[in-house]
């Protein structure tokens, strides 16, 4: 499968209601066996949420459409690696979408930074400012290292809450889990991050 169906202008329409929602894990399993019709059904059932998440992160409709397409291509290629024991199919897809969206934001920011490089480098830099930037860089690296040690379900919940800006209720909806389960995953993930980073409770 070389492509997925394009995302229509604006958020995709026609997501199935809860009463007739398909078995996404089963569709993804069949897609891993090369069943394009199953993957098309998986796309139809999840594209609205995928696009919505991408748009919320990148805040640009054109970029959101591109991110969504890239995420589905990645999902098609890696569908054989989906493990239902490690989380819902929707959560697995939305994790891919979120990472693609964050990559796009970083890419856009990097391009902007390159345009400003000459002005920044030509201005005198105070020693204290350099020290603060170094500490900020180290702290960011510590956070990334700590997040990478979380379980898949904890990382999905924490990333959507603190990097994606979603509420606990929205995270529960996106991951297809009860609100209490989403809160538990977020709380457990934050406790682990606090312990790993040596933050006092």
Rounded CA separation 23/186 (Å): 25
Residues 6+ positions from 84 with CB-CB distance below 8 Å = 25
Task: Give per-residue pLDDT as tens, 64-102.
Answer: 999 999 999 999 999 999 999 999 999 999 999 999 999
How high is the mean pLDDT of the chain? 80
Q: Which two tokens stand for residue 36?
A: 């394009």
Model confidence at 8: pLDDT above 80: no
Mean per-residue pLDDT for 165-190? 84
Model confidence at 127: pLDDT above 50: no
Rounded CA separation 64/60 (Å): 6
Other Cβ atoms less than 10 A from the Cβ of 196: the count is 15
As to burial, measured by CB atoms within 10 angstroms (0-12 exposed, 13-18 middle, 19+ buried), residue 79 is buried
**Distances in Å between the alpha carbon of 2 and those of 6, 76, 158?**
12, 9, 32
Q: What is the DSSP letter of 9?
A: S
Rounded CA separation 188/172 (Å): 15
Q: Which two tokens stand for residue 178?
A: 């009860």
Residue 141: alpha-carbon gap to chain centroid: 19
Looking at per-residue confidence, does 116 or 33 come out higher?
Answer: 33
Model confidence at 140: pLDDT above 80: no
119 pLDDT band, cuts 50/70/90, is: low
Q: H or E element: which one contains 42?
A: helix 36-58
Domains and CATH numbers, the chain: 15-122 (1.10.1740.10), 134-201 (1.10.10.10)
Number of residues that this document lists for the chain = 201
| Spatial contact of 66 and 49, defined as CB atoms under 8 Å apart | no
Residues 6+ positions from 16 with CB-CB distance below 8 Å = 22, 44, 45
| Spatial contact of 27 and 41, defined as CB atoms under 8 Å apart | yes
Residues 6+ positions from 54 with CB-CB distance below 8 Å = 63, 64, 65, 67, 68, 71, 97, 100, 101
Rounded CA separation 15/1 (Å): 23
105 pLDDT band, cuts 50/70/90, is: very high
């Amino acid at each position: 499968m070389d492509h997925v169906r394009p995302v229509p202008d604006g958020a995709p329409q026609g997501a199935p209601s809860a009463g007739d929602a398909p078995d996404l894990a089963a569709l993804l399993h069949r897609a891993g066996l090369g069943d394009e019709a199953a993957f098309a059904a998986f796309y139809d059932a999840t594209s609205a949420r995928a696009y919505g998440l991408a748009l919320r992160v990148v805040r640009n409709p054109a970029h959101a459409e591109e991110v969504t397409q890239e995420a589905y291509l990645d999902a098609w290629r890696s569908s054989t690696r989906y493990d239902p024991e490690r989380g819902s199919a929707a959560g697995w897809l939305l994790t891919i979408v979120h990472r693609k969206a964050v990559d796009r934001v970083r890419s856009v920011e990097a391009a902007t930074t390159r345009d400003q490089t000459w002005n920044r480098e030509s201005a005198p830099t105070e020693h204290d400012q350099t020290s603060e930037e170094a500490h900020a860089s180290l702290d960011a690296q510590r956070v990334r290292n700590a997040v990478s040690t979380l379980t898949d379900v904890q990382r999905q919940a924490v990333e959507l809450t603190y990097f994606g800006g979603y509420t606990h209720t929205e995270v529960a909806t996106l991951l297809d889990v009860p609100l209490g389960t989403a809160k538990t995953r977020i709380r457990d993930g934050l406790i682990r991050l606090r312990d790993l980073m040596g933050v006092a409770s």
